[in-house]
Structure 1
Amino acid sequence: MRIARILGTAALLISLATAASAQIKIGAIISITGPTAALGVGYKNAFATFPAEIDGKSVTYIIRDDASDASAAVSIAQRMIEDDHIDAMIGPTLTSSALAVQPLMNAAKVPMIATAPLDYDAVKYPYTFSAVQPVGLMVNAVVADMKKHGVKRLAYIGFADGFGDQVYEATKTAAAKAGIELVADERYSRTDTSTEAQVLKAMSKKPDAVMIGGSGTPGALPDVGLHRRGYKGLIYGNHGMVSPAFLRVGGAQVDGTIAVTGPVVVYDQLPASVPSRAPATTFMKALIAKFGPDSVSPFAGYSEDGLLLLQAAIPAALKAAQPGTEAFRVGLRDALEKTHDLIGVHGVYSMSPTNHNGMDDRARVLVQAVDGQWRLVH
């Protein structure tokens, strides 16, 4: 009887050791369907280029669609934590989903690298990180170009949601510092099919330029509407607008639009001095080989940088514990927070206990829509 108990205990210990040594599980919540589906394609495609092994451990990527719905993202995150036992997450890809999910991930001590613009307190949410440029950092570059072009009056047309609010607040702050008057704030839904009313109201204020605070396919609506109404001023966009879908939907009507984005979008136009040029070129060539030239997008790049951050942190975490354990997740979080000068496809990451993004001016470039392509603005 005693021998049986000893053997049973030994078997249990072996079982637990085997479970702890299991493969690394990385979850991903991507908006593959719904209003932001055009962006989700890029995020998802990147995973097809990811390695099957990191630092000698096999990796499983668990990808699920939240259908651009924050409540669905919460349910998915709960399942990934409780049933899939993920070690980390890349995503969610929608700002509202990321904000809704982060309390769960932090309570479960699962590192989460958001791939949507996110405004949060790194001290309050120590397991939340971000691979996306802060909205303020990007908008500042756009407003600087407005000032350079002598813009005095600026109108804003953006989403009536958290992302639209982020872009608006950043625009308002930067414009005030640049001495530019913000004369209109018009909003629309991601599911709207027209922004004619918003365009007419904005144009009635006679702005020298219009800033658009939308993303993906719906982000093209104000741009198209302004061109149809014969608007002759400058049109600017944020980093959520820069995508193949925007160019496809807008066509010739969005030519001339100036937007800010990460270096990866124009990887083949970058000067040699840009740190991200090499990794961006390697990544995009691999992506294009699988999905064709239309697959070039900043959103695929955010997934890639999420992976690069985890790849750099995993070796240190493995010294602390094995995957599938809380100790491994804690070690992963600690290693992510110590990230220093990691060169990604979107920029250079250097983090700290109070900054879980750490990107700077090297994470942004200005581009212009020209004949159906994004061209680097020198």
Structure 2
Amino acid sequence: MNKALLSATVVAAALALPGSLALAQTSEITIGISISATGPAAALGIPERNALDFVPKEIGGVPLKLIVLDDGGDPTAATTNARRFVTESRADIIMGSSTTPPTIAVSTVANEANIPHFGLAPFPINEARMKWSVDLPQSIQIMGKVLYEHMRAHSIKTVGYIGYSDSYGDLWVNDFKAQAVPIGLTMIDEERFARPDTSVAGQVLKLVAANPDAILVGASGTAAALPQAALRERGYKGLIYQTHGAASMDFVRIAGPAAEGVIMAAGPVMSPETQPDTALTKKPGLALNKAYEAKYGPNSRSQFAGHSYDAFEVLKRIIPVALKAGKPGTSEFREGIRQAFISEKEIVASQGVFNWTEKDRYGLDERSRMLLTVKDGKYVPAM
């Protein structure tokens, strides 16, 4: 029997034992968090980890025990972390990971073990992952729509695409076909690159030769700056669109002058100051950014810090409800959290207002997005 199968068997056996240690009630709520604090996705995982400095230490009078493990952006490591949360930590809640492939891995383990799971990256939630998983980042569909509408408003007809050669890249290509093509946009060239790549020269040459009206980059973190800079170096003059996976100051730092004029979909936490006072996301966004930038420096705010911070904004609402169903460490408590995901409505956080349902595990609407551009090295609302 291989190690992966053995681990899965141990998990199943532990969960099957009534009154086992895995389900023994405790005096604290254990939360296992797998993030990519190293590796190609560190620009996402580090802010997610940093934001944990500003989350509550207890909710509903019950202490929170956070166990944070680094998965380096590797789905195999993320799977190992998730299984440790199940078998060793006996977690009540699991969070992670920072990018799409390891988030799928964490979700799979959480759903096998019947443990509530918060995704910290956009990921496809199929029937097998729907019962126990919800996602905190905005869905590709929510962010894609505002990008395509901007393209159409600016008379763009043809689009070149360059994105990751993994599930995140696939999500954007599929969404373009589903939403952009029906409104008259055409993808005339599709290029891919791996997350660890340090050059996209070949792909960029093909894109420039295709001469699309605009280019969409389906990447995240500092890697999203790689094609941004390369396209400008090769003389591409058209609009370049970036997804919410790139929304951080690290993108501006790495891309440098090439970042100027980018059109980026982002969550409201990136610019809560520009939101109207009536926006529910303004207060939590300002609170997070004030604390984060006081500790980590001016303009250090990040889309990704917002995701892990928002998990605890959500927990402030749902843990008191779940505690009525059972004590921490029990299956009743976990089930109470799962039910509260969908029973609680208008859950306000820095990145949006959540209304999950049995079928909608993203739970966000247009209040969770804005369009930004970079002007003089700073993010400002795009026109």
Is contact 1:310-1:336 (8 Å) kept?
no
Name the structure 2 match of 1:297: 302
Distance in 1, Cα, partners of 2:158 & 2:113: 47
Alignment of 1:183 with 2:175, yes or no, is no
Name the structure 1 match of 2:39: 34
Distance in 2, Cα, partners of 1:337 & 1:91: 20
Name the structure 1 match of 2:166: 161
Distance in 2, Cα, partners of 1:123 & 1:79: 21
Q: Quick one: which of 95, 100, 110 aligns to 1:95? A: 100
Distance in 1, Cα, partners of 2:315 & 2:362: 13
Q: Quick one: which of 285, 289, 313 aligns to 1:284? A: 289
What does the per-residue CA deviation read over 1:300-337, in whole Å, with 9 as the maximum and x for residues that have no partner? 00111111112211011111111011111111111112
Is contact 2:313-2:349 (8 Å) kept?
yes
Amino acid at match of 1:34: G
Q: Quick one: which of 131, 134, 149 aligns to 2:154? A: 149
Name the structure 1 match of 2:85: 80
Name the structure 1 match of 2:73: 68
Distance in 2, Cα, partners of 1:250 & 1:204: 22
Distance apart, 1:175 and its partner CA: 2.1
Give the secondary-structure state (helix, strand or coil) at the position aligned to 1:285.
Answer: helix
Give the secondary-structure state (helix, strand or coil) at the position aligned to 1:356.
Answer: coil
Name the structure 2 match of 1:271: 276
Amino acid at match of 2:193: Y
How many residues align? The count is 363
Alignment of 1:359 with 2:339, yes or no, is no
Q: TM-score, normalised by structure 2?
A: 0.92
Amino acid at match of 1:88: I
Distance apart, 1:171 and its partner CA: 2.0
Distance in 2, Cα, partners of 1:222 & 1:199: 7
Amino acid at match of 1:296: R
Distance apart, 1:251 and its partner CA: 0.6
C-alpha spacing 1:170/1:186, structure 2 compared with 1 (3 Å): same
Distance in 1, Cα, partners of 2:246 & 2:125: 22
Name the structure 2 match of 1:310: 315
Is contact 1:242-1:298 (8 Å) kept?
yes
Name the structure 1 match of 2:118: 113
CA RMSD of aligned residues (A): 1.6
Name the structure 1 match of 2:11: none
Q: Which deviates more from structure 2 when the two are superposed, residues 23-32 or residues 98-107?
A: 98-107
Distance in 2, Cα, partners of 1:298 & 1:124: 24
Distance in 1, Cα, partners of 2:241 & 2:98: 23
Distance in 2, Cα, partners of 1:90 & 1:283: 19
Name the structure 2 match of 1:320: 325
Distance in 2, Cα, partners of 1:108 & 1:172: 35
Give the secondary-structure state (helix, strand or coil) at the position aligned to 1:20.
Answer: coil
Distance apart, 1:124 and its partner CA: 5.2
Distance in 2, Cα, partners of 1:51 & 1:346: 18
Distance in 2, Cα, partners of 1:201 & 1:85: 50
Amino acid at match of 1:81: V
Distance in 2, Cα, partners of 1:297 & 1:83: 32
Distance in 2, Cα, partners of 1:293 & 1:215: 22
Distance apart, 1:294 and its partner CA: 3.6
Amino acid at match of 2:208: M
Distance in 2, Cα, partners of 1:291 & 1:339: 33
Identity %, equivalent residues: 36
Distance apart, 1:289 and its partner CA: 2.1
Give the secondary-structure state (helix, strand or coil) at the position aligned to 1:320.
Answer: coil
Q: Which deviates more from structure 2 when the two are superposed, residues 253-262 or residues 168-177?
A: 168-177
Is contact 2:95-2:118 (8 Å) kept?
yes
Distance apart, 1:172 and its partner CA: 2.7
Name the structure 2 match of 1:139: 144
Give the secondary-structure state (helix, strand or coil) at the position aligned to 1:293.
Answer: coil
Is contact 2:148-2:180 (8 Å) kept?
yes
Distance in 2, Cα, partners of 1:289 & 1:325: 38
Name the structure 1 match of 2:375: 370
Distance in 2, Cα, partners of 1:21 & 1:191: 42
Q: TM-score, normalised by structure 1?
A: 0.93
Distance in 1, Cα, partners of 2:172 & 2:297: 31
Q: Quick one: which of 127, 131, 145 aligns to 2:132? A: 127
C-alpha spacing 1:176/1:141, structure 2 compared with 1 (3 Å): same
Amino acid at match of 2:334: R
Q: Quick one: which of 229, 236, 240 aligns to 2:234? A: 229
Distance apart, 1:298 and its partner CA: 0.5
Q: Unpaired segments of 5 or more residues in structure 1?
A: 1-15
Give the secondary-structure state (helix, strand or coil) at the position aligned to 1:295.
Answer: coil
Is contact 2:147-2:265 (8 Å) kept?
yes
Distance in 1, Cα, partners of 2:280 & 2:182: 29
Distance apart, 1:66 and its partner CA: 0.2
What does the per-residue CA deviation read over 1:258-279, in whole Å, with 9 as the maximum and x for residues that have no partner? 0101000011222223221111
Amino acid at match of 1:254: A
Q: Which runs of 4+ in 1 moved over 6 A?
A: none
